Amino acid sequence: MVNHTRLIVFTDLQGTLLDQTSHSQHSSLPALRKLQALKMPVVLCSRQTRAEVDPLWRELAHEEPYIFENGGAICFMPGRAPFEDESADAEGKLKIIELGSRIGALRGGLAEVARRLNIRVRSFAEMNAKDAAEFTGLTRQQAQAAALREYDLFWFEEPGDP
């Protein structure tokens, strides 16, 4: 009897595929290469921005979709997703399916809440790279990529909305 079960591996990056301390993928490469040889798809999932995940995805020579910004969007090569979504936006040669809300709208809502409560809120994107790096422990380059957040999964509703 032939087993036609197809497995897909979903992996987080931080502390899973990437080393917790060095943030390197080198110790995971043998397992990744074996999965690739077995033609077993590996889908990268991360809280990081597309600007942070995309270089790793390209370095690993992945063709499977990757999920970024905590599920805010999925990036994939046309023809490589298990479905083709005609609403997906083309980004160069990649397509993106947006699942979350655009960060600009959320920041606007947050600013309005802060104004109403008379509090000061400083978003990560408002920090310069030096301050963001010091605050988070990231390098300046990593902080700049992290500031390129595009999506989040929160939304604001007007009173009375269902």
Residues in the chain: 162
User: Please, are residues 13 and 53 in contact by the beta-carbon 8 Å criterion?
Assistant: yes
For residue 152, indicate whether it is catalytic: no
* 3-state class (DSSP) for residue 92: coil
The first and second tokens of residue 36, run together, are 């690739």
Q: Among the options 12, 85, 89, 131, which is catalytic? A: 12
Report DSSP state, residue 162: -
Cα–Cα distances (Å) from 135 to 44, 94, 124, 138, 141, in that order, read 26, 33, 9, 8, 14
Catalytic residue list:
12
